[in-house]
Chain A
Amino acid sequence: MSEAVTPIPALATPAELERVPLVANQRSFGWISDQVAAIVEGKTPRWWWAVFIPSVLAFLILPAMLLYQITTGVGVWGNAHPVMWGWDIINFVWWIGIGHAGTLISAILFLLRQRWRTAVNRAAEAMTIFAVMCAGIYPALHVGRVWFDWWLFPIPTANGLWPQFRSPLMWDVFAVSTYFTVSVLFWYIGLVPDLAVMRDRAKTKLRKIGYGLFALGWRGSNRHWSNYEKAYLILAGLSTPLVLSVHSIVSLDFAVSQLPGWHSTIFPPYFVAGAIFSGFGMVLTLLIPLRKWCKLEDLITMRHIDLMCKVTLATGSIMGYAYAMESFIAWYSGSPYERFAFINRAVGPFAWGYWIMISCNVVVPQLFWFKRFRQNLALVWVLAILVNVGMWFERFVIIVVSLHREFIPANWSYYLPTWVDVLTYLGTFGLFFTFFLLFLRFLPMIAISELKGVIPQADPHHPLGGAREGGHQ
Chain B
Amino acid sequence: MDSPVNLPNGLVGPDYWRSLDQLADTPQFRRWVEREFPAGASELADPVSRRHFVKIMSASFLLAGLGVTGCRRPVEKIQPFSKLPENYVHGVPQFYATARPTRDSAVPLVVKSNDGRPTKIEGNPLHPDSNGATDSFTQASILNLYDPDRAQRFLQAGKAVTREAALDALREIAAAFGGIYQGLGAGGAADPGASKVGGQGLCFLLERSNSPSRARLQTLIREKLPQARWFIHEPVDFDIHRQAATQAFGKPVRPCFRYDAAKVIVSLDCDFLGAEPDAHVSIRRFVKGRRLTGSSDAMSRLYAAEALFTLTGANADHRLRLPASQVFNLAVQLAAKVTGEALRADDLPASLVDPHWLDECAKDLLAHKGAALVVAGHRQPLAVHLLAHAMNVALGGVGKTVTLHEAPEPTEGSLADLAGALEAGAVDTLVILDSNPVYTAPADLEWPKTLRKAKAVIRLGAYEDETAALCDLHLPMAHYLESWGDARTADGTLVPIQPLIEPLFGGMTELEVLARLGGLDTTNPYDLVRATFRALAGEGEDTWKRFLHDGWLADRASTPMEVEFNRPAVAKLLSEAMFIPAPSADRLEVVIHRDASVDDGRYNNNGWLQELPDPVTKMTWENVVLLSPATAAHFGLDIRDRENNDLQVPLVKIEAGGRVVVGPAWIQPGLADHVVALALGYGREKSGRVGSKAGYDAYRLRTAASPHLLSGAKLTPTGARHKLATTQNHCAMEGRPVVREATLAEYRENPRFVQGMNLPEPEAAKDAAGRPLPLYPNPLDVPDANGVTPRDKALHQWGLSIDLNACVGCSACVVACQSENNIPIVGKDQVRRNREMHWVRVDRYYAGDSTNPQAVTQPMFCLHCESAPCESVCPVNATVHDEEGLNVMAYNRCVGTRYCSNNCPFKVRRFNFFDYHRRPLEELVGPVYSTPLTSSTDGEWDLIRWLKNPDQGKRPGEEWELLKLVKNPDVTVRMRGVMEKCTYCVQRIEQAKIARKVQAGPSGDIEVPDGTVQTACQQVCPAEAITFGNIKDPQSAVSRQKALDRNYTVLEFLAVKPRTTYLARVRNPNPALPGGKDPTLLSQEYLEKNPPLPEGHAPAARGNRSHGTPTPAGKGDH
Contacts and interface: CB of A to CB of B under 8 A. Distances in A.
A166 interface: yes
Contact of B927 (A145, A405, A408, A419): A419
A164 B911 contact: no
Report the interface size class on chain B. Answer: 35 or more
B913 A75 contact: yes
A136 to B, nearest CB: 15
A44 interface: no
A72 B898 contact: no
B933 interface: yes
A161 B893 contact: yes
A418 B977 contact: no
Contacts of A194: none
Interface string B965-992: 0000000000111110000000000000
A73 B929 contact: yes
B156 interface: no
8 contacts: A82-B907, A144-B894, A146-B977, A166-B776, A257-B902, A258-B869, A408-B1050, A416-B646
Q: Is the interface of B mostly helix, strand, loop or mixed?
A: loop
Interface in B854-870: 858, 860, 869
B926 interface: yes
Q: Is the interface of A mostly helix, strand, loop or mixed?
A: loop
Given A75-B914, A144-B894, A406-B905, 9 more contacts: A84-B899, A144-B895, A145-B978, A148-B876, A163-B877, A173-B875, A409-B734, A410-B841, A413-B834
Contact of B736 (A79, A170, A336): A336
B644 interface: yes
Cβ-closest 3 pairs across A and B? A144-B896, A144-B977, A75-B913
Contacts of B776: 166
Given A74-B977, A75-B830, A408 B875 contact: no
Contact of A257 (B873, B894, B898): B873
A414 B833 CA distance: 9
Contacts of B976: 73-74, 144-145
Nearest to B727: A410
A71 interface: yes
B835 interface: yes
Contacts of A411: 730, 906-907
B915 interface: yes
A180 to B, nearest CB: 18
Contacts of B186: none
A84 B873 contact: no
Contacts of A259: 902-903, 905
B874 interface: yes
A236 to B, nearest CB: 31
Contacts of B501: none
Nearest to B915: A73
Contacts of A144: 894-898, 911-912, 976-979
A146 B895 CA distance: 7
A408 B843 contact: yes
B556 interface: no
B901 interface: yes
B728 interface: yes
A410 B642 contact: no
B906 A407 contact: yes
Contact of B902 (A84, A162, A405): A84
A324 interface: no
Interface string A406-430: 1111111111101100000000000
B522 interface: no
Interface in A242-288: 253, 256-259
Contacts of A349: 642-643
Nearest to A162: B877
B845 interface: yes
A293 interface: no
Contacts of B906: 407-408, 411
A407 B1056 CA distance: 13
Interface in B1076-1115: 1089-1090
Interface in B923-948: 926-927, 929-933
Interface of A: 67-68, 71-76, 78-82, 84-85, 142-146, 148-149, 151-152, 161-164, 166-170, 173, 253, 256-259, 335-337, 340, 349, 403-416, 418-419
A74 to B, nearest CB: 5
B903 A81 contact: no
B1054 interface: yes
A366 to B, nearest CB: 34
A188 B1111 CA distance: 72
B933 A67 contact: yes
B369 interface: no
A413 to B, nearest CB: 4
B835 A80 contact: yes
B902 A85 contact: yes
A5 to B, nearest CB: 67
B643 A413 contact: yes
B536 interface: no
B645 A414 contact: yes
Nearest to A74: B913
Nearest to A348: B643
A124 to B, nearest CB: 31
A315 to B, nearest CB: 27
B833 A80 contact: yes
Interface string B255-299: 000000000000000000000000000000000000000000000
Most A-side CB within 10 Å, residue of B644, B733, B933 = B644
Given A259-B903, A336-B1089, A81 B914 contact: no
Interface string B831-852: 0011100000101110000000
Contacts of B733: 409
B1051 interface: yes
A339 to B, nearest CB: 10
B860 A410 contact: yes
A78 B927 CA distance: 10
B910 interface: yes
Nearest to B1051: A407
A145 B896 contact: yes
Contacts of B729: 413
A446 B1065 CA distance: 71
A414 B978 contact: no
Contacts of A79: 898, 913
Contact of A412 (B730, B858, B913): B730
B698 to A, nearest CB: 28
A151 B913 CA distance: 20
A403 to B, nearest CB: 6
A414 B643 contact: yes
Nearest to A164: B877
A151 B1033 CA distance: 39
B738 interface: yes
Contacts of B911: 74, 81, 84, 144
Nearest to A84: B898
Contacts of A151: 876, 893, 895
A144 B894 CA distance: 8
Contacts of A404: 643
Contacts of B645: 80, 413-416
B872 interface: yes
Interface string B733-745: 1111010000000
A207 to B, nearest CB: 41
Contacts of B642: 349, 414, 416
Given A80-B833, A169-B897, A414 B644 contact: yes
A413 B875 contact: no
A149 B896 CA distance: 10
A233 to B, nearest CB: 35
Given A151-B876, A335-B759, A410 B845 contact: yes
A405 B736 CA distance: 13
Contacts of A167: 872-875, 899
Nearest to A399: B902
B873 A168 contact: yes
Contacts of B874: 164, 167
